[in-house]
Amino acid sequence: MTLLEVTGLSKSYGKQRSVDNISFVIEAGQCVALLGPNGAGKTTTLRMLAGLLPPSAGQISFNGSLPGTDYRKELGYLPQSPAMYRWMSGLEYVVFAAKLSGIPSREAAKVSAAALERVGLAAAGRRRIGGYSGGMKQRLGLAQALVHRPKLLLLDEPVSALDPIGRREVMELLREIRGETTVIFSTHVLHDAEEICDNVILMNQGTIAVQGELSELRQQYSLPVIRLSVETGSAAAGWLESLALKPFIQASQISGGKAVFNVADVALARRAILQEAVGLNIPLLHFEAGSSTLEDLFMKVVGS
């Protein structure tokens, strides 16, 4: 079922087109990473989806309704740098957010406590937000975005500002959350996207460079490459040199027991190499076939 349909969405600031005619469809239950370097237009796109910025052109249709219908009730939103009232306690803030989303007072208290528990802030709930660490604030931000069980969760760089530990915590949470609702989250780190999402929209300079299912993209953009490494100081080094001369290998790079072979047919090359390795009793350390080069694609898109 289609949850969100975006057609020809654009946003210009004066002459600059921050978001330039992008279209995509998001199915209910998907987790989509909005991937792109700084200034790609991720925040601008998410703000338009959240109804905070009027688009210069284009349409957003939520859950099959007419474009222009107010769907903020079904939305959870976490901005890039969430500013919550420092003088409130964490629990007070989540209750406040829950009530503004239309949950009656008594229920709001209940679901807010549950949401805090959920993000691991139950113990800190009565403390003032002013005294929270960056990771705690981000988790509180998630709690307020989740508390009313939104159909669509928009998260703007939820882990970028965090240290490795905070990042780990929030990624774990996201992994849990994505099973419950539809999530769009922006990031400039491919690895984050791969870790929790199955779909990506790769943006650069306001346009969508590539979009689709991660596994498909990986196949589509994977060059037929075989990487392998062997124990150094053995006869295996000579074997690598001999492999380079095989007809199924088009190009090779060999150095210090490591080799990268460009091949015409991965399946064929893989079978031949592995058979030889077994036959010659080669001490293989590492073998990788048809390796993903999404990283390369990302770098290419970003670099251009």
Partner 1 sequence: MRKFWTLYSKEMLESLRSYRLVWIPVVFIILGIMQPLTTYYLPDILKASGDMPPGMLEGYEMPGAAAVMAQALGQYGTIGMLVLALAAMNSLAGERSSGSAELLMVKPIAPAVIIFAKWAAHLTVLFIALGLGAAAAGYYTVQLMGSLSVSDCLAAAGLYSLWLLSAVSLTLLFSAFMRGPAAAFLALLSAAGMSLLYSLLPSDFDWLPAALPDLSAGQLTEGSVAWFGPVLSAVLLILACIAGASMLMGRNKLPD
Q: Which is nearer to ligand ATP, 6 or 40 (CB)?
A: 40
Q: How many CB atoms lie within 10 A of CB 113?
A: 16
Exactly one of 44, 61, 144, 199 binds ligand ATP (CB under 6 A); that residue is 44
Does 126 bind partner 1 (CB under 8 A)? Our answer is: no
Q: Which is nearer to partner 1, 104 or 247 (CB)?
A: 104
Min separation Cβ 107 and partner 1, Å: 12
Residue 279 structure tokens: 């036959």
Q: Which is nearer to ligand ATP, 16 or 255 (CB)?
A: 16
The SS3 assignment for 152 reads: strand
Residue 205 zone, left/alpha/beta (φ > 0; ψ -120 to 50; rest)? left
Does 75 bind partner 1 (CB under 8 A)? Our answer is: yes
Does 38 bind ligand ATP (CB under 6 A)? Our answer is: yes
Rounded CA-CA distance 17/36 in Å is 16
Q: How many CB atoms lie within 10 A of CB 304?
A: 8
Task: Please report, as a single letter, which amino acid is at residue 161.
Answer: A
Beta bridge partners of 184: 32, 154
Does 112 bind ligand ATP (CB under 6 A)? Our answer is: no
Residue 12 structure tokens: 């210009």
Of 10-18, 99-107, 245-253, 289-297: span binding ligand ATP (CB under 6 A): 10-18
Min separation Cβ 77 and partner 1, Å: 4
Element (H, E) at 278: helix 266-279
Min separation Cβ 59 and partner 1, Å: 19
Task: Please report, as a single letter, which amino acid is at residue 90.
Answer: G
Does 39 bind ligand ATP (CB under 6 A)? Our answer is: yes
Of 71-79, 227-235, 263-271, 278-286: span binding partner 1 (CB under 8 A): 71-79
Q: Which is nearer to ligand ATP, 41 or 224 (CB)?
A: 41
Does 79 bind partner 1 (CB under 8 A)? Our answer is: yes
Q: What is the largest CA-CA distance in the chain?
A: 75
